[in-house]
């Protein structure tokens, strides 16, 4: 059933790693904590089971924009979903409530603040809730990088819904955070599923920030016309960089907390709808963004935590295609983050912040495989075949040069720190090693040290970088308000020659070599001209529907179209990400576009045969006023043969709630007046009496009148048959 749901609504013919196990937990009603990286398909882990289970799935979502985008995407796929938040009018919220009571909604998105209100809890108690899905669940834990106190209140769900499965989903959680999530939500023997934190399609590159604008321009030139995010650590950097880039012809918009709500919303929508290519933002931007075709993320400054970096860089390449993640860091930012953490109140949150900051510093200044550094932090390792080279970071691609005599250089630096009595910071130590005649050095008599001028032939900035790298590799540490350098235990081993560091020198990599690092496999066989034409069609369709372009089709789908170049319904249905609803809504128009392009350019069509799914799966047809759709008509034939709802559901691989809807259509379509094939004869008079008392508008009063002894699945057919009899004047 799960695979059928994936194929029908999302156009997928298989599961990503760990998805099926996570979905089975949801179907079995067993609590779970699911950790999958950004882009790993977390949302499907609860969306697909929700379509298989009877009742309403409730999704906790932290941001309004995220709710809207996910609901828009679900509806575009033919899935009945809704959200409740402060942007809606009372009439709109009332309509959602009516739709839920009438069982016309399968997924409901709410904020944690809204969900824990007494009124909402009581409303949900009157419904059949199939599951609770808690997104961004790391916000529950004080050990997490984005703790939110309102998430702690979600433990009331267990008390009020003891038999309903609770499922927590996040992209970033260490082992300590995972267990804290389970404890805080009062989960019952949860299944903890942890996927690989590695994102092999992401290409990581790290440089010390030198010519900031020039470094950014170099990345943008490699991604002309593509979507990207530039993260800055200050609002001033956002505003300055936006002006500079726009002045050089790039389409960028700013985003930070100092802007008005209207301006932030407008700029975010422009980026999502592809009216601008690049958003320049602080970390205030991103959690609510579900845009799948971000091809690059630039950090114009170092984040304060490795979890933040993993999450923010992970907003690129969510479609599984290649994307570039570039980090430009500076020592000044490291000092600022350290000082901010030291000034925070003592406790678990501060301890976790220090741990994350040190890991982030090590990542930025290190010379080890970036992919391995990330997964190691989360307690994992790369597969054995990737130990020699991940093939997707600056270190493994040979874009960084290592200092050949790194041990000797490091011993000179640490010796100077020692002879300075470990009383000075990085800048001062650099001056001593450089042989500076600056007044402070001379006043302290440090020109007489044996380490004075030992690195006189090395640029000052390079020496400063090496010091930061030694701090990141834990041979040195910084202490106190003035970040005084201290030698660690590992540093003492280094001085004895018992440990060897890795030090980087500026890369001599050419632009051509950098370009060669971009993964090309995903473009194999793709007609890029057709891809661009399809992008324009996608943009037009998205504007007409007032939804983001990626909701119509992701880049993965467009590339597959431009590779297959289908001119038939069956061929188009074989395209990745084309489910039945999208086939019905967009198939003919995209096929026509492909056909015309191929004719005009003399390009071969239908280069790949339709797969088996496209040949055998019923084409989704939207219900029309003239009659039921094809799936409903198939169910009608089975009902006429005397089959029950459960038998039809099993035969068609559909959820019983879906088939119950087909039965209601069948009763009205064929004018059925006797519900006895589907409802026990002794129950029918009781149901009809309660219906006459309360009317046809809402099922809940009828359900309560019968003391909950009759399920909604049995109520509907009896009520529908009574409605038919009254319509024909038989009552």
Neighbouring residues of 501: CB distance < 8 A, sequence distance ≥ 6:
406, 407, 410, 469, 470, 473, 475, 494
Looking at residue 655, its pLDDT comes to 61
- 374 and 359 in contact (C-beta within 8 Å)? no
Looking at residue 476, its pLDDT comes to 93
Structure tokens at 419: 């002879």
Alpha-carbon gap, residue 497 to 499, rounded angstroms: 6
The model's pLDDT over 608-628, given as tens digits with 9 standing for 90+, comes to 877 654 433 433 333 333 356
Looking at residue 731, its pLDDT comes to 63
DSSP single-letter state for residue 16: P
DSSP 186-250: T-SS-EEEE-----TTEEEEEEE-SSHHHHHHHHHHHTTT-EEEEEESSHHHHHHHHHHHHHTT-
Largest CA distance in the chain: 111
Looking at residue 387, its pLDDT comes to 65
For the chain, which ranges sit under pLDDT 50?
Answer: 507, 509-521, 613-626
The pair phi, psi for residue 296, each rounded to 5°, is -155, 150
Residues of each domain in the chain carrying CATH 1.10.150.80: 521-616
List the one residue out of 103, 104, 83 whose CA is nearest residue 93: 83
Looking at residue 626, its pLDDT comes to 39
Looking at residue 616, its pLDDT comes to 39
Strand partners, 193: 34
Residues of each domain in the chain carrying CATH 3.40.50.300: 2-194, 202-400
* CA distances in angstroms from 322 to 41, 204, 230, 315, 599, listed in the order given: 16, 11, 17, 12, 30
Residues of each domain in the chain carrying CATH 1.10.10.10: 402-506
Looking at residue 262, its pLDDT comes to 87
DSSP single-letter state for residue 10: I
Return the CATH number of 2-194, one of 3.40.50.450, 3.50.50.60, 3.30.70.980, 3.40.50.300.
3.40.50.300
Alpha-carbon gap, residue 661 to 667, rounded angstroms: 10
Question: Which CATH topology does 521-616 take?
Answer: DNA polymerase; domain 1 (1.10.150)
Looking at residue 430, its pLDDT comes to 95
The bridge status of strand 476-479 relative to strand 484-487 is antiparallel
Looking at residue 443, its pLDDT comes to 93
Neighbouring residues of 16: CB distance < 8 A, sequence distance ≥ 6:
40, 41, 44
Q: Write down the architecture of domain 202-400 according to CATH.
A: 3-Layer(aba) Sandwich (3.40)
Q: Does CATH number 1.10.10.10 belong to domain 402-506? A: yes
């Amino acid at each position: 059933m799960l695979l059928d749901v994936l194929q029908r609504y999302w156009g997928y013919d298989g599961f990503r790693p760990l998805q099926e196990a996570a979905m089975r937990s949801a179907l079995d009603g067993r609590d779970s904590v699911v950790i999958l990286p950004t882009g790993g398909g977390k949302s499907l882990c609860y969306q697909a089971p929700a379509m298989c289970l009877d009742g309403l799935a409730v999704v906790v979502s932290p941001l309004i924009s995220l709710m809207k985008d996910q609901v828009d995407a679900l509806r575009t796929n033919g899935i009945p979903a809704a959200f409740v938040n402060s942007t809606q009018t009372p009439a709109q919220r009332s309509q959602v409530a009516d739709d839920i009571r009438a069982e016309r909604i399968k997924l409901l998105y709410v904020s944690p603040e809204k969900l824990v209100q007494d009124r909402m809890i009581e409303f949900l108690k009157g419904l059949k809730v199939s599951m609770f899905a808690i997104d961004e669940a790391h916000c529950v834990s004080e050990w997490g990088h984005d703790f939110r106190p309102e998430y702690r209140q979600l433990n009331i769900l267990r008390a009020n819904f003891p038999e309903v499965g609770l499922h927590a989903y996040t992209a970033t959680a260490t082992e300590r955070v995972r267990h804290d999530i389970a404890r805080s939500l009062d989960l019952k023997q949860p299944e903890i599923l942890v996927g690989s934190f590695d994102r092999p399609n992401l290409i990581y590159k790290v440089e010390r920030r030198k010519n900031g604008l020039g470094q950014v321009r170099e990345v943008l030139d490699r991604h002309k016309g593509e979507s990207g995010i530039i993260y800055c650590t200050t609002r001033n950097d956002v505003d300055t960089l936006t002006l500079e880039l726009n002045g050089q012809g790039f389409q960028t918009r700013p985003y930070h907390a100092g802007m008005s709500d209207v301006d932030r919303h407008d700029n975010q929508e422009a980026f999502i709808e592809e009216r601008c290519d690049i958003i320049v933002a602080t970390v205030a931007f991103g959690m609510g963004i579900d845009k799948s075709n971000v091809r690059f993320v630039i950090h114009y400054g170092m984040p304060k935590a490795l979890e933040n970096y993993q999450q923010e860089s992970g907003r690129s390449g969510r479609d599984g295609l290649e994307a570039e993640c570039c980090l430009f860091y500076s020592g000044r930012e490291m000092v600022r983050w350290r000082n901010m953490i030291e000034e925070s109140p003592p406790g678990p949150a501060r301890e976790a912040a220090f741990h994350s900051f040190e890991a982030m510093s090590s990542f930025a200044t290190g010379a080890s495989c970036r992919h391995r550094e990330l997964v190691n932090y989360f307690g994992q390792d790369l597969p054995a075949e990737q130990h020699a080279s991940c093939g997707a970071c600056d270190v493994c691609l040979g874009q960084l040069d290592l200092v050949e005599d790194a041990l000797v250089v490091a011993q000179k630096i640490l010796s100077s720190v020692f002879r300075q009595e470990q009383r000075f910071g990085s800048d001062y130590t650099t001056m001593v090693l450089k042989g500076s005649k600056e007044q402070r050095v001379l006043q302290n008599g440090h020109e007489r040290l044996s380490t004075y001028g030992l690195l006189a032939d090395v640029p000052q900035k390079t020496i400063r970088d090496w010091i930061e790298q030694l701090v990141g590799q834990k041979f040195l540490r910084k202490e106190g308000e003035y970040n005084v350098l201290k030698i660690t235990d590992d540093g003492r081993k280094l001085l004895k020659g018992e440990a060897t560091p890795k030090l980087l020198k500026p890369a001599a990599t050419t632009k051509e070599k950098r370009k060669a690092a971009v993964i090309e496999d995903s473009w194999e066989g793709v007609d890029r001209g057709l891809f661009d034409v399809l992008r324009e069609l996608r943009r037009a369709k998205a504007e007409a529907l007032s939804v983001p372009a990626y909701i119509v089709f992701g880049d993965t789908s467009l590339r597959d179209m431009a590779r297959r170049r289908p001119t038939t319904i069956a061929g188009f249905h074989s395209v990745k990400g084309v489910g039945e609803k999208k086939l019905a809504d967009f198939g003919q128009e995209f096929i026509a576009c492909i056909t015309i392009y191929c004719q005009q350019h003399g390009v071969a069509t239908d280069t790949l045969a339709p797969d088996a799914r496209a040949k055998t799966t019923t084409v989704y047809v939207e219900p029309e006023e003239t009659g039921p759709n094809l799936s409903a008509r198939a169910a009608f034939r089975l009902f006429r043969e005397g089959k029950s709802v459960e038998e039809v559901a099993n035969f068609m691989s559909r959820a019983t709630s879906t088939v119950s809807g087909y039965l209601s259509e069948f009763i009205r379509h064929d004018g059925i007046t006797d519900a006895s094939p589907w409802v026990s004869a002794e129950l029918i008079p009781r149901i009809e009496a309660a219906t006459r008392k309360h009317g046809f508008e809402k099922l809940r009063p009828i359900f309560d009148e019968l003391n909950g002894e009759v399920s909604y699945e049995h109520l509907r057919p009896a009520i529908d048959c009574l409605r038919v009899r009254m319509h024909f004047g038989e009552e």
